[in-house]
Amino acid sequence: MKSKRWIKGLAVLVAAVLCFGFTGCKNIENPARTPFASDGYQGEDFEKTISALKEAGFINISTETMLTYSDDKAGTVGKVTIDGSHSFLLDSVYENNVPVVVAYYTMLDKGEQPEESEPEGEVAQPTGKEKLEVTFDIEVTGEEGKPVFVIETNLPDDTELELSLLWDDMFSYEDQTAIVKGGKAKSEPFTDNGEPLSGYSAFGITMFPASQPESVQSIIGEMGEYLTGSMVVTVDTYSYVWMEKTFGTEQEKPQEKISEDDMKAVIENALAAGFGDDYSVSLEGVVYTANVWQDGMAATALLAKDGNADAVVIWEQIRQTTTAATEKLQKLLEDNGHRDHLVVVNVLNDTNKENILLSVVAGMVVSDCTA
């Protein structure tokens, strides 16, 4: 029974990864589709953005405010989260009652100053208009099982960092926000509903330029154009910061070895949940090959290759989520005694399935028709 529960859990995990980038899941009862991608709302009027979300079918929308000194930014959208995520594609499908939060800018009163904490020492601040190679140095403190993260960074003061702590890259214990002061930021203790944490954990930091105050944007750029380094992700003309650090103690892993047939069943179950009948799985020697397709995929690839901005963003998300899916599947093989096996995920041309649009092996893109 333990083995069956493990297989079922793995199937759900992989399905979550595979479904994200392709809007292929078929089991949503009351669907609502995103009217824009996660980089498509910055600077828009917040009331029009809310109206667009309502027209798209979302029914659980709330708002938050962000302070600004700029008259031009007042009333515009700085950040949108859907079901707790800042990253989503155009026309992605969600249940219509998932929480949607629209954060928009409001003017700071002339005499009002944002709260500041005393820096521990003088820290040289970047001046902007020049490339800033982002650095982080993470120290873990706090009680055992209740970690507190102290972050040293060269990002400018008042930068807002979004912090998350994940278990198996899937379950977030909680999300927090920390503000850089004097080159440092600090989290509150992370817990599992007040209880100590255990198992593998990954600490993540995200920084979106669009949600930063004007003083920070003047240094990093409104679109993150002055950011550089290994932790900077660029999609089309928009750049943001993302880093992840693994830490923690090893959780108990099942010792039973899953057979090749059972492993194939895990992959098939995941694909069936995400793509209905639009997939195939084969095993040749030590290589599992998963082929997936969806109506309109070839057209999206063609538009991306021609430079269409929306298609470029969508295709980049498809690349990223397909890569993440193969990494998950590869880890499943390794955790279950099949280190000598590989996983290949191919995105096929929906009009001619003999042609491969994108091929990813164990987290590495080996071919991309748009490149």
**pLDDT for 53 beyond 90:** yes
The CATH number that applies at residue 141 is 2.60.40.10
**pLDDT for 54 beyond 70:** yes
244: phi then psi, degrees, rounded to nearest 5: -140, 135
Closest CA to 10 of 247, 338, 295: 338
Which one is predicted more confidently, 54 or 310?
Answer: 54
Q: Do residues 264 and 325 both lie within one domain? A: yes
**pLDDT for 22 beyond 50:** no
Q: Do residues 228 and 205 both lie within one domain? A: yes
Percent of the chain with pLDDT over 90: 16
**pLDDT for 52 beyond 90:** yes
**pLDDT for 179 beyond 90:** yes
Q: Which of 196, 214, 248 is the last residue of a domain?
A: 248
60 close to 32: Cβ distance less than 8 angstroms: no
Question: Is 120 inside any structural domain?
Answer: no
Closest CA to 90 of 62, 60, 52: 52
Confidence class for position 28, pLDDT limits 50, 70, 90: low
Question: Is 116 inside any structural domain?
Answer: no
152 close to 136: Cβ distance less than 8 angstroms: yes
pTM of the model: 0.40
Which of these ranges, 22-36, 91-105, 138-152, 198-212, has the smallest mean pLDDT?
A: 22-36
Confidence class for position 223, pLDDT limits 50, 70, 90: confident
Q: How far apart are the first and last CA of the chain?
A: 46
Tell me if residue 14 falls in helix, strand or coil: helix
Question: Is 362 inside any structural domain?
Answer: yes
The CATH number that applies at residue 83 is 3.30.10.20
Rounded Cα distance between 63 and 61, Å, is 7
255 by Cβ neighbours in 10 Å (0-12 / 13-18 / 19+) ranks as exposed
Percent of the chain with pLDDT over 70: 74
Q: Do residues 309 and 345 both lie within one domain? A: yes
Q: Do residues 189 and 208 both lie within one domain? A: yes
Q: Do residues 139 and 225 both lie within one domain? A: yes
Domain that holds residue 360: 2-24+257-368
Mention every residue, 6+ apart, whose C-beta is less than 8 A from residue 324.
Answer: 17, 363
Q: Do residues 329 and 364 both lie within one domain? A: yes
Count of CB atoms situated within 10 Å of the CB of 51: 13
**pLDDT for 167 beyond 80:** no
Q: Which residues pair with 101 in a beta bridge?
A: 62, 81
334 close to 279: Cβ distance less than 8 angstroms: no
**In the chain, how many domains are there?**
3
Average pLDDT, the chain: 76
157-161, 288-292, 298-302, 357-361: which is most confident: 157-161
pLDDT of residue 266: 78
Question: Is 112 inside any structural domain?
Answer: no
Q: Beta strand pairing status for 136-143 and 132-133?
A: unpaired
Q: Do residues 139 and 177 both lie within one domain? A: yes
Question: Is 114 inside any structural domain?
Answer: no
Which one is predicted more confidently, 277 or 334?
Answer: 277
pLDDT of residue 257: 67
Q: Which whole number is the average pLDDT over 57-81?
A: 81
Question: Is 124 inside any structural domain?
Answer: no
Q: Do residues 230 and 289 both lie within one domain? A: no
pLDDT of residue 258: 74
**pLDDT for 19 beyond 60:** no
Q: Do residues 211 and 184 both lie within one domain? A: yes
Closest CA to 42 of 86, 83, 1: 86
Structure tokens at 51: 């109206």
Question: Is 118 inside any structural domain?
Answer: no
**Type of residue numbered 333:** L
Q: Which residues pair with 162 in a beta bridge?
A: 177, 206
Q: Do residues 201 and 266 both lie within one domain? A: no
Q: Do residues 211 and 316 both lie within one domain? A: no
* ∠ Cα 237 79 105 (to 5°): 110
Question: Is 278 inside any structural domain?
Answer: yes
pLDDT of residue 236: 59
10-19, 244-253, 358-367: which is most confident: 358-367
355 close to 348: Cβ distance less than 8 angstroms: yes
Tens-digit pLDDT profile for residues 125-159 = 555 567 888 999 998 888 888 889 999 999 999 99
Strands (E), the chain: 31-33, 61-68, 77-82, 93-95, 100-107, 132-133, 136-143, 146-153, 160-167, 171-179, 184-186, 200-207, 227-228, 232-235, 238-248, 279-284, 287-292, 342-348, 356-361, 364-368
**Type of residue numbered 188:** E
Q: Do residues 280 and 343 both lie within one domain? A: yes
DSSP state, residue 211: G
**pLDDT for 117 beyond 60:** no
Tens-digit pLDDT profile for residues 71-110 = 777 888 877 888 877 666 667 778 899 999 998 878 755 4
Rounded Cα distance between 371 and 363, Å, is 17
